Structure formats: C-alpha cells, structure tokens
Amino acid sequence: MSGSGSPDERARRWRLVLGPAAEEPLGRDLGADDLAMDAALGELYEPGADPDGSVQKDRTGGLAGSAPRVIRWLGDIRRYFPAEVVRILQQDAVERLDLTRLLLEPEVLRSMEPDVRLAGTLLTLSRVMPQESRETAREVIRRVVADVERRIALRTRAAVTGALDRSAPHHRPRPGEVDWNRTVLANLEHYLPERRVLVPRRLIGHRRARKTLGREVVLAVDQSASMAESVVHASVFAAVLAALPTLRTALVAFDTAVVDLTEQLHDPVEVLLGVQLGGGTDIDRAVAYCETLIRRPHETLLILVSDLFEGGPRDGLLPRVARLLARGVRVIVLLALSDSGVPAYDHETATALAGLGVPAFAATPDTFPELLAAALAGRELTPRADRPSGRA
C-alpha cells in the first residue's frame, strides 16, 4: 500500500484493507460511503461476521452464490471502486469463491466489467454455456476485443510498417531527382567560405520505395486453460497483422488437436469463439502443421505462444524446430502474452530451445509490437528485466 497521504488517510486505507477488527487499534471510524465500500469488500473477503458485528481478523471468505446477491454486489463495487480495481475484485470472486456457475447466467454477465481475464474465463466455459447465455457472452467478448484492439492496433501497425520499410536514398540521381536539402547537409564539410560556394561531392536522391515480397507470420497459440489471456491477446494481434498488405498472417490454435483459424481473422470475435480452452497440449503436432503453411522460409517468422508444457511426445519438437531453423525460418516463443506478470513455464524445454537459438520471452501487449518489429527486421531479441527469457 502506498505510504502517501495524511496519517488519517493512511489509517482509513488500512482500515478498509484489514476490516472491522482493525477499527479500534487504528482509532479510525468510517463514513457512510466508506462503510458501503467496506461491506462490499467484506462480502468477498470476510463472510464470517458474527451477528454482533465481530469478525475474523483475516479476510478469507466467500460471497453467497445467489445471482441476485452477486448482481447487487457487482453494482456496488462498480459504484465505489475504479474500473481497474473492479476487475481485480471480479476475478478474485470468480477464482476464490467458485462463481463460475453464475457466469453462465446472462443477468450476472451483463453486470460484469468486461476485461481480458473475464473473456478468458468465458472461453473456458464455452462448452457448457447454455444457449441463452451465449449471446451475452459474445457481447462481453466483443467489448473486450474492441478495447484490446484500440490499445494495440495503431502501435502494432506503426512498428511492423517501420520494420518492413525498405525504402532508401539513392546516390546516383538524375537532375530532377536530387534531394537538395539532404545533399547540402551531407556536403557541408565541402563548403568553400572564401568563394562562398558549396561543392557537393555526393548527390543524394529522393527516396525510392523498393519493391518487396510480403513477409509471412505464423502464430501458433496454445489453447490450454493457463494460456487464456494470451489466447485473447494473440487473436487480436493476429487480426491486426492480417489486415496489413505487407504480411501474410496465419493463426493456428492447438491443444491435442490443431485448428487453423486463419480464415476467421477478419473478425477476432469469431476467432475466439472458435477456440476451445482447457484441453491437453501437443506442441510438436502444432509446429508440424505450421510447417505445412510456410511458403518462403527465409521470409517467415513463426511465433509459438505457449508455456511449453508438452503433453505429447517430447522427442519430436526439438528436431522439428531445428529443421525449421536450418531452412531459414525465424522462430520465437512467447511464454505468455498478457499483463499478468511472469508466467509459469517449462524451464527445461525453454532452455533446450534457447540452445538452438530460439528466444523464449514473456511479453505484454504493450511490448509485443516492439518485439515483433525487431524479429521481422532480423534484429537480435534481447530480454529485458520485465521479460523473462528461456535462456535462464
């Protein structure tokens, strides 16, 4: 907790965090709005209140599992807390108190604050979701996709376009093609002050765009339940990349089976609805399928989004990746593509891939465009402090 603010404000915050048991030691009473906030926190973290108002010292509880009560509670937290706090409280309610059943009810879904983690949870429930909840879930996912797209689309297009820009100045221009401003700047050392004349040794022409072949990006995304946030972000990124004329983009989702979602990339919502989260994992099978999509190996970037916990045979993956590298394909592994911090991943497989020259990073949606641009431009990918590497 931040130490900023007056002593009274700090006492207020500690009282809200610790609950009613801390009121007397802190000597801090709460006003009406703060009491309402405290009650909302208590329903999530402190269900064991006695009738006299005394409570356990630790907030460790559960919210009653009835839809009307949950809907009211969702309204309360949206009233008293900012959106980023609401999302945390919602996720705590789902994870700590097993409210997944209530997420299948349209009334509850409509009361939730949409975010990536909620969308991921809905995708894991898609197989058991009743028909009346599907349209509501689709709308929640659509809003999440729109938010993610607003966040990453412009930056991704700019980064990729810059990485693929092969236009360059030329130094044997015709008279009408001379870029005089750049020519003067490049020849200032040849200025003759006694004659007040610049004698250019080198003429620089206006930039000519070189004709380039399109690059290829293949995203292979692990559908295991632990990768839910990564699946959402990767699907939106794939849709943004697919709209760029300089790239040929393919999206493959996999568990023990492989699903090619490339034809749905015009609508990332449909892509996500085609995902089936929660199955096993056969990474080697997925990479084998991706290999069939590659037309120009030296122009291809294969991005494997996976925590590398292989459920299939382990002896096939590394030789297959080695063959791809030998053909000229550039391969990188994203251990996670989310805002949730350092992921759990298979260190042994990550280290083995690093031995082949395949970097394994976690990336946030904000850092991924920079990483992607560097990979497309052929630059070395260097892990940052906030991006764990499989080389470790």
Residue 117 in any domain: the answer is yes
Residue pair 258/281 in contact by the 8 Å Cβ criterion: no
What angle do the packed helices 131-164 and 228-242 form, to 10 degrees?
60
For residues 158 and 263, state if they share a domain.
yes
- Return the C-alpha torsion angle 29, 31, 37, 38, nearest 10: 20
Of 291, 285, 283, the residue nearest 334 (C-alpha): 283
For residues 200 and 216, state if they share a domain.
no
For residues 352 and 215, state if they share a domain.
yes
Tokens 């004709």, residue located: 211
Residue pair 106/139 in contact by the 8 Å Cβ criterion: no
pLDDT number for residue 168? 46
For residues 185 and 259, state if they share a domain.
no
Distance between CA 119 and CA 129 in Å, rounded? 13
Q: How many domains in the chain?
A: 3
Alpha helices in 46-190, H assignment, sequence order: 67-80, 83-97, 106-111, 116-124, 131-164, 180-186
For residues 313 and 191, state if they share a domain.
no
pLDDT number for residue 58? 45
> Which CATH number is 242's domain given?
3.40.50.410
Q: Which domain holds residue 188?
A: 168-208
- Long-range (24+ apart) CB contacts under 8 A made by 102-107 are 102/65, 102/67, 102/70, 104/128, 104/129, 104/130, 104/133, 105/67, 105/133, 106/132, 106/133, 106/135, 106/136, 107/67, 107/71
For residues 25 and 125, state if they share a domain.
yes
Tokens 């004698």, residue located: 199
- pTM as predicted: 0.70
For residues 365 and 240, state if they share a domain.
yes
Residue type, 189: E
Q: What angle do CA 52, 58, 121 make, to 5 degrees?
A: 110
For residues 128 and 174, state if they share a domain.
no
For residues 46 and 113, state if they share a domain.
yes
For residues 157 and 282, state if they share a domain.
yes
Residue 18 in any domain: the answer is yes
Residue 391 in any domain: the answer is no
Tens-binned pLDDT, residue by residue, of the chain (392 aa): 444 567 677 777 777 776 666 666 666 667 677 777 777 787 777 655 443 444 444 444 445 456 667 777 777 887 888 888 888 888 888 777 767 777 778 888 888 888 998 898 888 887 777 787 888 888 999 999 999 999 999 999 998 888 876 544 555 676 667 778 788 888 888 888 888 888 887 787 765 544 444 689 999 999 987 888 999 999 999 999 999 988 999 999 998 899 999 999 999 998 898 887 766 789 999 999 999 999 999 999 999 999 999 887 778 999 999 999 999 999 999 999 998 766 789 999 999 999 999 999 899 999 999 999 999 988 888 654 344 444 33
Alpha helices in 294-334, H assignment, sequence order: 317-327
Residue 383 in any domain: the answer is no
For residues 217 and 344, state if they share a domain.
yes
Q: What angle do CA 293, 270, 104 make, to 5 degrees?
A: 135
For residues 349 and 221, state if they share a domain.
yes
Residues facing residue 247 across a β-bridge: 215
